[in-house]
Structure 1
Amino acid sequence: MSVSNVEMAGEAGRYAAPLRILHWLIAGLVMATWPLGLMIGFVKEDVKLDFYLVHESLGFLVLWLMLLRIGARLTSSAPLVEAPALEKAAAHTVHGLLYVFLIIMPVSGFLATNAHGFPLNWFGLFTVWSPIGKSPDIAFTLSAIHEWSAWILLALFALHFAAVIFHHVIRRDRTLYRIL
């Protein structure tokens, strides 16, 4: 497969700078938040609340950055790329699902925290308004949605990362450079 002239043109073959920055910022936050959430069940009780505070605060930050990213994505175009139709469809599907679950996961986590009766105290700086308050009848459902969306997000990340490796190492094309 050949690389299109647009891709070889440098900056024209890349995502806009705000999208590139948000991509890597969100990726870094998720790479910190996801394992932190997984570890909460294994830490001693005297530090568990600290883990929750950081996990929930980072997750809430991911939510707002994702909303900003969606706005930036809607106002800028993606760089053109030549690829088979099936490959383009797979990429669009995985990217779309990543966006969806990067919204579902923090929203469900935030609402689950609220429903369990714990308002989000964002990095200890201020308390975030709770839209639902303590609601034990839906707390475990929201927690389950949050947990399942985390595992789905991990699977989507694995697919995304496998595609990066495929394009960069096997195909040796410039796909990775679109987001760097």
Structure 2
Amino acid sequence: MQGFRPSFRILHWIIAMLVFAVWPLGMLLKYFKDDVKLDFYLLHESFGFLVLWLMLLRLGMRLTQGRPTHPPDWTGNVSRIVHWLLYAALIVMPLSGFLATNAHGFPLQWFGILPVWSPIGREPAIAPFFSVLHAGTAWLILALVGLHIAGALFHRIIRRDDVFQRML
């Protein structure tokens, strides 16, 4: 089976590392003391915003360059569904977080340097919607990443085919 291009592999692993940093950081924010909480919020938001742009780049690459074929069995169908749900969730997640932050009245200063235009401004009436969407998508991503890893391990350990190797 054909492997992924190096650009896809690099982007995959950069996004994976960012998700594995941003996700737990977001879950732990409520436990930080006030004197450092805003610093960690800034990191969470800034890296999350980076995930959004990298996912949009990856989606563009996927739509224009394609990808190696899925296995022609049920695992290929499951893989296709999980991958598209991951793409959607990894775009909805940072976008909803960005809009929630904006709606709560806190415009993003990307890494404390670059002010990011706020498309909605302070809108307390819709802020809870974006916050709930953001939190719900976080749990969806956790489940999808678990399925993704389980699928990769299934191919490596049970099937012993080359599907696992395609992204290494």
TM-score of the alignment, normalized to the shorter chain, above 0.5: yes
Structure-1 residue corresponding to 2:42: 53
Q: Which runs of 5+ in 1 are unaligned?
A: 1-6, 8-12
- Per-residue deviation, 1:87: 1.9
**In structure 1, how many angstroms separate the alpha carbons of the residues matched to 2:72 and 2:151?**
13
Q: Does 1:167 align with 2:142?
A: no
Question: 1:44-73, CA deviations, whole angstroms, 9 ceiling, x for partnerless residues?
Answer: 111110110000000000000001001111
- Per-residue deviation, 1:138: 0.5
**In structure 1, how many angstroms separate the alpha carbons of the residues matched to 2:66 and 2:94?**
26
- Per-residue deviation, 1:80: 3.1
Equivalences, count: 168
Task: Please identify runs of 4+ aligned residues in structure 1 that moved more than 4 A.
Answer: none
Structure-2 residue corresponding to 1:65: 54
Query: Residue 18 of structure 1 contacts residue 72 of structure 1 at CA under 8 Å; is this kept in 2?
Result: no
Structure-2 residue corresponding to 1:77: 66
Aligned residue identity for 1:55: H
Matches within 5 A, 1:7-156: 7=1, 13-84=2-73, 86-156=74-144
Structure-2 residue corresponding to 1:3: none
Q: State the TM-score, normalized to the length of structure 2.
A: 0.97
**In structure 2, how many angstroms separate the alpha carbons of the residues matched to 1:94 and 1:62?**
18
**In structure 2, how many angstroms separate the alpha carbons of the residues matched to 1:179 and 1:121?**
33
Query: What is the aligned-residue RMSD (CA, Å)?
Result: 1.0
Aligned residue identity for 1:165: L
- Per-residue deviation, 1:81: 4.7
Q: Percent identity?
A: 56
Query: Residue 108 of structure 1 contacts residue 142 of structure 1 at CA under 8 Å; is this kept in 2?
Result: yes
Question: 1:93-119, CA deviations, whole angstroms, 9 ceiling, x for partnerless residues?
Answer: 000000000000000000000000000
Change in Cα spacing, 1:78 to 1:135, as seen in structure 2 (3 Å) is same
Q: State the TM-score, normalized to the length of structure 1.
A: 0.90
Q: SS at 2:133's partner residue? A: helix
Aligned residue identity for 2:19: V
